[in-house]
Amino acid sequence: MKRVVITGLGMINAVGMEKESSFKAIIEGKCGIKRISLFDASRHTAQIAGEITDFDPTTVMNPKEVKKADRFIQFGIKAAQEAMQDASFTEYDSERFGMVSASGIGGLTNIEKNSLISHERGPRRISPFFIPSALVNMLGGFISIEHGLKGPNLSDVTACAAGTHAVATATKSIMLGMADQMLVVGAEAAICDVGIGGFASMKALSTDNDTPEKSSRPFDATRNGFVMGEGAGALVLEEYESAKARGARIYGEVIGFGESGDANHITTPVVDGPYRAMKMAYEMAGKPSVDYINAHGTSTPANDKNETAALKMLFGSADACPPVSSTKGQIGHCLGAAGAIEAVISLMAMRDGILPPTINYENPDPECDLDYIPNIAREADVNVIMSNSFGFGGTNGCIILKKI
């Protein structure tokens, strides 16, 4: 099997418009969660989100094209541009360069908007750009056209595991010789009336509206639901010999990945599924000494205790488990984009030798008894990182990254 490395990164989220400012804010424990301004959320029980403010899509697209692309696609284009620039290609074989797009919901904002138009003004008033703007794979469509990527053009739409699954999908394509390079882009922008309302009706969201900066508190005993975020993460994956031959900067190597299904419940997580995904990745990687785990860590009562239990099963005990943190306290839960964003964060942590903190960790939970790097980032020698993502439908993903 061919070796697969990462040579380019890009990121946009609630604490930064690009990867360096985002990562710096995350390490400093800054929180981008605030009152929602994208729509009037006053009727909702949850009125807070990790919203990106001051984003101008005309900085990444021709103004005439903006109306053709939903907000999640615009974020993805932004992150992809940064990752491709970061990879510093002078040339590439376009037919050997593919991409994998990832999103949990896709163009929910445009689905909501055009549904209202149809209901209130009739179906003839629906935008002709509605369908192309809302499809998840159009994220890959827009980006592949911009960069001339004619290799495999794939999409993972596996709820909150999509971004991590996309890294695995791209890795497989290169390992099997289907491509020399793959661009992974995970993007989400579901902060809209029906998006917030839908998750709130499931009692999945935190309703701590008066203290938004404290509302997402992974692994804390008082956690009471996740906070929706938005944004995008992008990674350029490349066959190792190709990257080495062109003198590319290598952030890390994908040495393991695992995927599993719970086969239990459409929304309630279990321990077994995440454990098997992590075990698969860990064994594929050769059971390395893991230095840090970027947890799924959603700040929901069920996920955090189950993920903790699965990690203890994998490593044998709480004491044997490496340091763990969740960065969702800083940027919220970016749903299908989360795994891609968190892979970028993990690789930058490896690059800089610093572990991001779990902010808002104040009240220990007896069922969550690992080292969660509480509140303050920690310098460390980081050579191997595990990153987890789990989604509705009982779909689980795990990747393991290694410094070269």
Beta bridge partners of 99: 153, 183
**pLDDT for the residue 299:** 98
Q: What is the pLDDT confidence band of residue 180, given thresholds at 50, 70 and 90?
A: very high
Half-sphere exposure of 342 (CA within 13 A, CB side): 42
- pLDDT, residue 272, reads 97
Report which of 95, 110, 285, 269 is spatially closest to residue 193, judged by C-alpha positions: 110
In whole angstroms, what is the distance from residue 371 CA to residue 121 CA? 55
The pLDDT, as a whole number, for residue 296 is: 98
Q: Quick check: 49 pLDDT over 90?
A: yes
Say what the pTM is. Answer: 0.98
What is the tens place of the pLDDT at every residue in 2-11? 999 999 999 9
E strand or H helix at 83? helix 71-87
CB contact set of 91 (below 8 Å; sequence gap of 6+)? none
Locate tokens 């990527």: which residue? Answer: 149
- Tell me the average pLDDT across 343-364: 98
User: Comparing C-alpha atoms, which of 255, 98, 79 is closest to residue 181?
Assistant: 98
For residues 78-90, average pLDDT = 98
Q: What are 271-318's pLDDT values in tens digits? A: 999 999 999 999 999 999 999 999 999 999 999 999 999 999 999 999
Q: Which amino acid is at 269?
A: P
Q: What is the mean pLDDT of residues 315-340?
A: 98
Confidence of residue 378 (pLDDT cuts 50, 70, 90): very high
Alpha-carbon distances, residue 218 vs 200, 289, 326 (angstroms): 18, 24, 7
Arithmetic mean of pLDDT, 164-189 = 98
Non-local CB neighbours of 394 within 8 Å, separated by 6+ positions: 261, 262, 263, 264, 265, 266, 269, 270, 273
Span 18-24, average pLDDT: 98
Amino acid 391: pLDDT: 98
User: pLDDT above 90 covers what percent of the chain?
Assistant: 100
What is the share, in percent, of the chain residues with pLDDT greater than 70? 100
- 271 exposed, middle or buried (CB, 10 Å; 0-12, 13-18, 19+)? middle
Q: Is the pLDDT of residue 339 over 90?
A: yes
The predicted structure's pLDDT at residue 52: 98
Task: Identify the CATH homologous superfamily for domain 4-245.
Answer: Thiolase/Chalcone synthase (3.40.47.10)
* Mean per-residue pLDDT over the chain, rounded: 98
Rounded to whole angstroms, the Cα distance separating 372 from 376 reads 10
pLDDT value of position 264: 96
pLDDT digits (tens, 9 = 90+) for 232-280: 999 999 999 999 999 999 999 999 999 999 999 999 999 999 999 999 9
Confidence at residue 67, expressed as pLDDT on a 0 to 100 scale: 92
- Show me where the domains of the chain are located: 4-245, 257-402
Q: Give the pLDDT band of residue 344 (cuts 50, 70, 90).
A: very high
- Integer Cα distance of 48 and 72 in angstroms: 19
Q: Is the pLDDT of residue 131 over 90?
A: yes
Q: Is 4-245's fold the same as 257-402's?
A: yes
Q: Which residues have a catalytic role annotated?
A: 160, 296, 333
| Domain 257-402 coded CATH 3.40.47.10 | yes
Predicted confidence (pLDDT) at residue 1 exceeds the cutoff of 90? no
